[in-house]
Structure 1
Amino acid sequence: MTRTRLRQAKTDRQPIAMLTAYDAGFARVAAAAGVDAFLVGDSLGMVVQGQRDTLAVTVEDVAYHAAMVRRGVGEALVVADMPFLSDATVERALDAAGVLMGEGGADMVKLEGGAEKAGIVRALTDSGVPVCGHVGLLPQRVRKLGGYRVQGREAADARRILEDAQALVAAGIDLLVVECVPSELGRALAEAVDVPVIGIGAGADTDGQVLVMHDMLGLTEKPPRFVRDFLADGGSIHGAFAAFVEAVRARRFPTAEESF
């Protein structure tokens, strides 16, 4: 799965199955089960390091885990998160992207934010760095938000998220993640932009789905509403990953009950 094939998948309406991964072993099994792309998320702070949120994760942390995932998945597409404030300035963002792609072996970096990040995105893409945007719920702003809440319920908020997505696309992103928004907004985003839109808690009508691996394996004590325990369905780790891929491609995940 390359950037070109991601866009073709959107054109062909073939849903994209994406998972987070943090080490070579699980990543290898997920790749063998047919997962299209991998996100080395700063969610590792919570599910691997035991932090209360993602803010303590460093560029070096993500690069370390990305390098392991790269060894596990071979040539599969690997996206690495830009940790909290690593993209606060153009200079910091370029330095972080250099580490994530050079030492970590990532194919693309992901940053959180809307139109205010367009200048950073443009500087990265002008330097040859493929970028994935992230709108909707922004976990790196959880302390400012006061918790993990669905975004875009009000018309003005939904319009702002759409405008943020369009600004990021104009700045040069190749992929967009949208998190925790109503299904109608997820569908509107996928229709409004020409890059693939990957949803997490954004309904079934985005161009693909991503879940945190620990969540979909039933390892999270209080999983979000949009998570399904695929290990219970699949019977084994490989079976869980394969069940996730099949459900995404058949648009049987998420259901209305797993959406907002």
Structure 2
Amino acid sequence: MTLTRLHEMADRDEKIAMLTCYDATFAKLMEHAGVDILLVGDSLGMVLQGAENTLNVSMHHMTYHTKSVAAGAPNALIIADMPVGSYEHDNEAAYKNALWLIRSGAQMVKFEGGGDRVQTARYLIDRGIPVCAHLGFTPQSVNQLGGYKIQGKTEESAHQITQDAIDMSNAGVSLIVLEMVPATLAKHITESIKALTIGIGAGVDCDGQVLVIQDLLGIYNGAASKQPHEFKAPRFVKNFLCETNSVKQAVSNYVNAVKSKTFPTPEHSY
């Protein structure tokens, strides 16, 4: 999988199926099930480490898991998250950290936010590192945002997200993840920019979709410090495993649902 192929898919209106992945076993399974992009997400802080957020994930964590995923899926397009503190304050440091992830097996790096982050994106792209932006709800800013809340509901907020997407696209980012924004806003952004959009809780009109694999399998039930009954899955989550007794078939069903535009439905969107 290459960026050129992704754009060819978008040109013929074929949706892009993306899943998070943290290890070689799932990476191999996903590649054979037809997943187009594997995201080594800093969500591993919650899913694998049991934390309440992503804020304690380090570059060492990210490089370790990126190497594991790359070993299992040599033909997939792999994107690695830049963890909090690895890119925000110094473009040269951002470049060194991004290069570390690329050398660990990623073909692209992802980081959160717009505004000043546009300069960071351009700095990396000018030095040959493909970038995926992440707008809308940005988990690394969960405390600043006041929790896990939909973004872009007000006119001002929607305008800011749209402008950030335009600026990121003009800077040369390849993909933009739109998380927990209204479907109508995501559709407008997708139609307005050159970069490809990947939605999570952002409606069916994005160029592709992403889910956390543990959410797709219905096995994530919140932070380790809390009881499972206290956890409520986000609206955008669908358990594909309950439709079959096979993990591989569940992943294949997700890919097929994304490609056929039957997922996400309005009930999985905002």
Q: Which TM-score applies when normalising by structure 2?
A: 0.94
Contact kept, 8 Å, 1:10 with 1:195, in 2: the verdict is no
Q: Does 1:245 align with 2:246?
A: no
Displacement after TM superposition at 1:98 (Å): 1.3
1:116-157 Cα deviation digits (max 9, x unpaired): 211111110011000000100010000111201000011111
Contact kept, 8 Å, 1:234 with 1:242, in 2: the verdict is no
Q: Does 1:232 align with 2:242?
A: yes
1:143-184 Cα deviation digits (max 9, x unpaired): 111201000011111111010001111111011100001110
Displacement after TM superposition at 1:11 (Å): 1.4
Residue 147 of structure 2 corresponds to which residue in structure 1? Answer: 147
Q: Does 1:30 align with 2:30?
A: yes
Contact kept, 8 Å, 2:132 with 2:175, in 1: the verdict is yes
Residue 72 of structure 2 corresponds to which residue in structure 1? Answer: 72
User: Which aligned pairs between 1:74-93 and structure 2 lie closer than 5 A?
Assistant: 74-88=74-88, 89-93=90-94
Contact kept, 8 Å, 1:39 with 1:81, in 2: the verdict is yes
Displacement after TM superposition at 1:217 (Å): 0.6
Displacement after TM superposition at 1:233 (Å): 1.6
Contact kept, 8 Å, 1:217 with 1:240, in 2: the verdict is yes
Distance 1:9 1:195 in 2: 13
Distance 1:173 1:84 in 2: 19
Distance 1:156 1:245 in 2: 35
Residue 4 of structure 1 corresponds to which residue in structure 2? Answer: 4
Displacement after TM superposition at 1:72 (Å): 0.7
Displacement after TM superposition at 1:42 (Å): 0.2
1:69-90 Cα deviation digits (max 9, x unpaired): 0111112100000100211110
Residue 206 of structure 2 corresponds to which residue in structure 1? Answer: 206
Contact kept, 8 Å, 1:82 with 1:97, in 2: the verdict is yes
Distance 2:198 2:244 in 1: 23
Displacement after TM superposition at 1:105 (Å): 0.7
Contact kept, 8 Å, 1:43 with 1:54, in 2: the verdict is yes
Residue 188 of structure 1 corresponds to which residue in structure 2? Answer: 188
Q: The residue matched to 2:112 in structure 1 has which SS?
A: coil
Distance 1:11 1:152 in 2: 27
Residue 120 of structure 2 corresponds to which residue in structure 1? Answer: 120
Distance 1:164 1:233 in 2: 38
Q: Which TM-score applies when normalising by structure 1?
A: 0.98
Distance 1:235 1:246 in 2: 17
Displacement after TM superposition at 1:115 (Å): 2.5
Contact kept, 8 Å, 1:15 with 1:208, in 2: the verdict is yes
Distance 1:99 1:187 in 2: 34
Distance 1:35 1:66 in 2: 17
Consecutive unaligned residues of structure 1, counting only runs of 5 or more, are none
Contact kept, 8 Å, 2:31 with 2:75, in 1: the verdict is no
Contact kept, 8 Å, 1:234 with 1:243, in 2: the verdict is no
Q: The residue matched to 1:115 in structure 2 has which SS?
A: coil
Displacement after TM superposition at 1:235 (Å): 2.2
Distance 1:241 1:86 in 2: 31
User: Which aligned pairs between 1:42-121 and structure 2 lie closer than 5 A?
Assistant: 42-88=42-88, 89-102=90-103, 104-121=104-121
1:40-62 Cα deviation digits (max 9, x unpaired): 00000000011110010011111
- Name the amino acid aligned to 1:14: E
Residue 173 of structure 1 corresponds to which residue in structure 2? Answer: 173
Distance 1:153 1:91 in 2: 35
Distance 1:91 1:233 in 2: 47
Contact kept, 8 Å, 2:25 with 2:72, in 1: the verdict is yes
Percent of counterpart pairs with the same letter? Answer: 46
